[in-house]
Amino acid sequence: MSYVVIARRYRPQQFKDIVGQEHITRTLSNAIANGRIGQAYIFAGPRGVGKTTTARILAMALNCENGPSATPDIESPICQAIIKGKSMDVMEIDGASNRRIEEIRNLRENINYAPSEGRYRIYIIDEVHMLTNEAFNALLKTLEEPPSHAVFVFATTEIHRVPATILSRCQRFDFKRIPINIIVDQLKTICESEKIEISSDALLQISKKADGSMRDGQSILDQIISFSGSKISMKEVEQAIGVINQEVYFNISDKIFEKNLKEILLLSRELFSSGIDLMELLLGLEEHFRNMLVASSMNSVELLDVSDNFAARYKEQISKFNENDLVAYLNIISQTIADMKWSQQPFLKFELALVKMAKMPAAKSIEELLEKVELLKKKRLNDGPAEPQIIPDPPPVNILDFEKIKSAWPNVVAKVHEVKPILANVLQLFNLDSFQENELFIKTTCNEFQKSIIDKNSSFLNEIVEQVYDSRIKLNINYDIQEVQPGQTTGNSPEKREEKLKKIETLKASDPLFKKFVDEFGLELE
């Protein structure tokens, strides 16, 4: 007889044999006992946790000769046919290879036929999420109103890909990842039955490698038995499946704590040369620092899935690192894992991550900082009051009076003359009267034309005054307007006016200063 792998030989045959899924087996057992059998079920969860196995046991429970019963007689012909995959009433369909609408149409045509031996025709569709949208649509009516003898059981690892219209027509059961301790117990039972001697460290490492999948754990155990025979140690496990020894992670973390850059570079080169998968190494190192963080936060190693020997090592090592450092290390490793997926030089990324962790300055906790603040406060109190500081006198304020204003006024006129000489000539008419609260009172006798010159240049004049006196001074000008006496101007005939305009244009063309004066003040011939 050909060899049957452990995963098939030790496949559960009763609901009570399924481990880690008690919430599901209890519900199905009660439903069968109370006659509340659904028309469609969907089992969702990770690989290797018992979805298809539960579907087969459900089929045996429904079609058993003494059933429906939650404890079918597995020795009966019908149950044996289901176990061997030979039952005409239990159809197992692979959704990945029978995903087209044609296969679903054939299923709809055959579903109306009565079962040949048992009470129900049971359709188990594995990886149901692989069906096409057209195939799902073809199933809808059949799922909603199936024949009384038909039961559908769907299994999927990607429940989010199953349409909501299908989910609403099924009873949904979510399978959990199997805890490590349950996988360890199950593998230990198998080893005892197979007369295999295996160490507890090796069992734990296999269970961790299974990553919550009982089938994966059984397959790994089968592989290691083929490699090492009837006696399995941790060393055989490492060699057979490429598991990295936990001592490597302790060694790396020791070198990081010592901040010995030379040793870290040598160690990283040694690990790379040994052929270790760098991604696996980083994932393991991430778990290692996570374990240290958990142990440090909880002040206990009870939550760690490690052997007693390594638990003692963790207790010893967590005293070297504070939690802030461990969080920073985890962030560096997480970023490096993401970068390595697309890097053409993964070793460089790995080496750089180790260097970053080694060169990172030790983080200070809040408690340490508060303690330092308290020490500084106490030191200041012990040292006595601080010596009074000598505050220098403020620079002298520029105090203006009327005499200073009058004495510096020629400077104002001179600066104005440099830019606008005509305005400077008008300023000669100013008579400074008084100065109060930064306001300079001025009297002047002028005509409308001269007043217009002052008004148009008021902003410029204020800027010059502020520059000369180094202070903002408001100019309050009191104008005494002199009107033009009769006879000073005579009317112009059109001919004379035209002649004067020509002369003005000639002067503007020959004298740039005159042109600037006329244009600037907008002068027009009256």
Q: Measured between alpha carbons, how far is 358 from 143 in angstroms, rounded to an integer?
A: 60
Q: Are residues 170 and 187 in the same domain?
A: no
Q: Are residues 207 and 93 in the same domain?
A: no
Q: Are residues 32 and 132 in the same domain?
A: yes
Q: Identify which of 249, 325, 238, 321 has the alpha carbon closest to the alpha carbon of residue 287.
A: 249
Q: Measured between alpha carbons, how far is 214 from 228 in angstroms, rounded to an integer?
A: 21
**Terminal-to-terminal C-alpha distance of the chain:** 131
**Which of 291, 325, 359 represents a domain boundary (last residue)?**
359
Q: Which long-range contacts (CB under 8 A, 24 or more apart) does 182-186 make?
A: 182/19, 182/20, 183/207, 183/210, 183/212, 183/214, 183/217, 185/19, 186/19, 186/214, 186/217
Q: Domain of 454: which CATH number?
A: 3.30.300.180
Q: Are residues 514 and 499 in the same domain?
A: yes
Q: Are residues 223 and 250 in the same domain?
A: no
Q: Are residues 24 and 142 in the same domain?
A: yes
What three-state secondary structure class fits 285?
helix
The CA angle 426-431-437, to the nearest 5 degrees, is 115
**Which of 241, 258, 290 represents a domain boundary (last residue)?**
241
Q: What is the pLDDT of residue 489?
A: 46
**Which of 222, 241, 260 represents a domain boundary (last residue)?**
241
Q: What is the pLDDT of residue 178?
A: 93
Whether residue 79 is contained in a domain is answered as: yes
Q: 233 is in which domain, residue-wise?
A: 180-241
Q: What is the pLDDT of residue 219?
A: 94
pLDDT in tens, the chain (526 residues): 578 899 999 999 999 999 999 999 999 999 999 989 999 999 999 999 999 999 999 999 999 988 788 999 889 999 999 998 888 889 888 887 877 777 788 888 888 888 888 899 999 999 999 888 888 888 888 888 888 899 999 999 999 999 999 999 999 999 999 999 999 999 999 999 999 999 988 998 899 888 899 999 999 999 999 998 889 988 888 888 888 888 888 889 888 888 888 888 998 898 888 888 889 899 999 999 998 898 888 888 777 877 777 888 888 888 888 888 889 999 999 999 998 888 888 899 999 999 998 888 766 656 666 677 777 777 766 665 555 556 565 555 556 778 888 888 888 888 888 888 888 888 888 888 888 878 888 888 888 888 888 888 888 888 888 888 888 888 888 888 876 555 444 445 555 556 666 666 776 676 666 676 666 655 555 5
- What letter would DSSP give residue 24? H
Q: Domain of 166: which CATH number?
A: 3.40.50.300
Counted domains in the chain: 4
Q: Are 95 and 128 in contact (CB under 8 A)?
A: yes
Whether residue 126 is contained in a domain is answered as: yes
Element (H, E) at 430: strand 430-436
Q: Are residues 44 and 112 in the same domain?
A: yes
Q: Are residues 219 and 143 in the same domain?
A: no
CA distances from 492 to 275, 448, 508 (A): 112, 21, 21
Whether residue 385 is contained in a domain is answered as: no
Q: Domain of 321: which CATH number?
A: 1.20.272.10
Whether residue 364 is contained in a domain is answered as: no
- 163 CB-side CA count, 13 A: 13
Whether residue 321 is contained in a domain is answered as: yes
Could you tell me the pTM of the whole model?
0.63
Whether residue 388 is contained in a domain is answered as: no
Whether residue 102 is contained in a domain is answered as: yes
